Every structure is written in C-alpha cells, then in structure tokens.
Amino acid sequence: MIDAPHRRDGVRIAALIHRVSGVGLALFLPVHFYVLGLALNDTAALDTFLNWTDNWAVKLAETGLVLLLSLHLFGGLRILALEFLPWTPRQKLFAALAASLAVFVSLGFFLSAGS
Amino acid sequence: MHRRAEVLDVLVWRGDANGGGYHSYGVPAQESQTVLDVVTWIQQNVEPTLAYRFACRVGMCGSCAMMVNGEPRWTCRTHVKKVFGAKGLVIAPLRNLPVIKDLAADMAAFFDKWTAAEGRFHPSKSRNDAMEPISPEAPNRVAANAAIECINCAVCYAACDTVTANPDYFGPAALNRAWTLQNDVRDAGYTVRQDAVSSSGGCFNCHSHQSCMTYCPNELNPTASIAGLKRLSALSYLTGGKAR
C-alpha cells in the first residue's frame, strides 16, 4: 500500500546510484574488451569502428560512460571513507560531493571531446 | 482532556502468518495522541481481538514498534500529528519479521541473531576478583557508550533493506550490540565474537544505507558500529588475528 519512504533518503539514493553505475559499467566492459581485441585480430575492422565513433552521438554516449565511471569511483571512495575513517555526521555532504565531482569530470570530458 | 470533533482515518493491518489485509477505522482525534493510543482505542472500543504488543508506554521497553505510514517507529513516542499524512494513518506490523497476529511480529529471529552475533557478555573475572577500573574517557569505552542505549525494539531491523534481501544477515541491532562488547575491556569473548561478526551473516553484508541510524528512536548509529566491526575484521585479517 505504501512504499518504503526510507528509500528516498539521500545516502540510500547514493548507494543505489553506486550500485546501478557498477552494473552499467559491467555491461559496458565486455563490449570494451571486444573492441580492444580487434586491435590484435582485425585492425581494419577496428579502424572502421573508430571512424564510426567519430560523431557527436557517440561522444555523448561516451560522456555517459565517463559519468558512470566517475560516479562509481567517487561513490566507492565515499564508502571506503565511511567504513574506514572515523565516523562523521556529514555523510549526505560527502554523497553530494561525490555526485558533483562525477558530473564535473564527465562535463570536462564532454568539453574536451569537442575540441 | 480536550476532545476535538475530528475523526482520524486509520488503516490497520489485520491477519496472521497466512496473510491478511488493511481494515479501516475512525478514531476520535485527541490532543497529544500517540499512535499507540490510536491502536489501544481501536482495541478497547471496536476490535477486542486486535493483537498488538506494548509494555512501558514511555519509550524504554522497545515492545511497541510498528510500521506507521511505511516507516518503522516506536508507537508510544510517536505523536499522531507528527506522522498523519494525506492517506491518514496506516499501521502495520514490523517489516522483515514474520507476523504472529495483526500488529504483533514474531521477534524470535531478531533475538536469535543477537545470539548468532555473540551478543552476550563473556565474563573475564569472578566475584572474588577486584573490580575492573574503567575510565569513562578511554577511547574504547567512549565507542561502547555511544552504542549501548539500544532498547531492542527492532526498528532498525525493520528499516534495513539488507535484511530484506538476505534473511541470514544478523541486522543492525545484533551487530551494534557486538560492537559494544568488542569495546568492553571486561569481556573475554573478543575472538569468538570477531569470528561470528565476520561470518556469512555478519558485518560485511552491510551496504551502509544508514536506514538503521535514520530510524533508530534512541538516535544510535548502528551503521557506524558495523563500520567499526568491518575495521576490526580488516585489522584481524591483516595481522593474522593477532591484533585486538
């Protein structure tokens, strides 16, 4: 009848984002390794693929990947700090900082990809 | 007591381990009315067979915790005006525990996990020994003191999504208790307890969602206690079990 309101808490959402970004990266990695493998097995196919990636839609998708990666990285550092450093009541601040840093890094990637 | 004319719309879950559903009641609103007052009014005036649990009514015994509008709360210290929402008042038995009847949850699993987490004191002295001097300023005593006011209400256990996902997980209260004992210099069960809290149901299940500290009515922080147990386990691993 009523959903679980505790799931709307900021640090709970930070944990969810950390988990979902990890799953996203896990789905991406096999494709990433397959393309890397083309460098050994089929360089012509790799060149064709790299030429195909040289457009804005792919850059935008790559920005999404960088966002996932940085969300997972900074979210992971947040959890390490939470569990291994003395407790601080500012966990929501750290979660917001991790998210802000991730957005900052991915925007930086997007701007540099365009230049 | 001043009695207002309004009637509270209250939904109460009724049923047993085989299932049940919400029943609707109209309860007269009163000043300074707690959720436990509402449940008691229904039982005394409408539904004599309504099962629920309470004892002290002043937030000490930990008996009366229930889900109120989807959140676990100690109902004797929860004012209706604080939680009454657009859907009125929806009262259900504690989450993550089997139901015995209506609002009374079966707490057996909750207390079994205290035992599994070695939540009992292992004496290191007899009555013939001198009393252990304990400095209130000692760091491990400060850490223990921050976590000892647990009233076993199972609010944290009901708030924990990790318990929902893994029924074998000891949960926040049992591990919080273990943390207080790991910091007690009088206790002789450190090693056996460290093995217990590092086992498959132990502290490494915790995802640090912090729902336990969000809802603990005594404002304890089981997430920090569990993080402390994780640090002790890591230290134990790195030192081959020699560090304490």
Could you read off the pLDDT of A68-110 as tens digits, one per residue?
A: 999 999 999 999 999 999 888 888 889 999 999 999 999 999 8
Give the closest-approach CA distance of B34 to chain A in angstroms. 20
* Interval B117-145 mean pLDDT: 94
Q: How far apart are CA B106 and CA B118, in angstroms?
A: 21
Query: B124 with B228, same domain?
Result: yes
Least confident of B79-88, B202-211, B227-236: B79-88
Residue A2 has pLDDT above 50, yes or no: no
B76 and B120 share a domain?
no
What are the structural domain ranges in chain A? 8-114
Phi, psi of B96 (to 5 degrees): 70, 10
B166 and B232 co-located in one domain = yes
According to the model, what pLDDT value does residue A88 have? 87
Predicted confidence band of residue B199 (pLDDT cuts 50, 70, 90): very high
Domain A8-114, CATH among 3.40.50.150, 3.10.129.10, 1.20.1300.10, 1.20.140.10: 1.20.1300.10
DSSP A5: G
Q: Domain check: are B48 and B134 in the same one?
A: no
**pLDDT number for residue A115:** 61
The rounded distance, in Å, linking the Cα atoms of B39 and B25 is 10
Domain check: are B212 and B127 in the same one? Answer: yes
Averaged pLDDT of chain A: 90
B61 and B114, same domain (yes or no): no
- Give the model's pLDDT for residue B242: 72
Report if residue B9 sits inside a domain. Answer: yes
Residue A99: per-residue pLDDT: 92
Looking at the structure of chain B, the number of domains it has is 2
Q: Does the residue B244 lie in any domain?
A: no
- In chain A, % of residues over pLDDT 70: 95
Alpha carbon distance A2, A69 (integer Å): 34
Picking from A3, A12, A82, the nearest residue to B227 by CB comes out as A82
Residue type, A78: R
Task: Return d(Cα B170, Cα B160) in angstroms, integer.
Answer: 11
- B77-89 mean pLDDT: 91
Task: Report the alpha-carbon distance of residue B242 to residue B205 in Å, rounded.
Answer: 24
B130 lies in the same domain as B217: yes
Q: Closest Cα of chain A to B164: distance in Å?
A: 12
State the pLDDT at residue B189. Answer: 95
What global pTM score does this model have? 0.89
β-pairing verdict for B3-16 and B89-92: parallel
What pLDDT digit, counting tens, does each position of B59-76 carry? Answer: 999 999 999 999 999 999
**pLDDT at residue A34 greater than cutoff 60:** yes
Cβ-nearest to A11 among B209, B221, B224:
B209
CB contact under 8 A, B208 and A6: no
Q: Give the residue from B231, B167, B235, B243 showing the smallest Cα distance to B200.
A: B167
CATH code for the domain of B82: 3.10.20.30
Q: What domain range includes position B65?
A: 3-105
Query: Which of B105, B134, B164 is a domain's end point?
Result: B105
Candidates B90, B159, B207; nearest CB to A2: B90
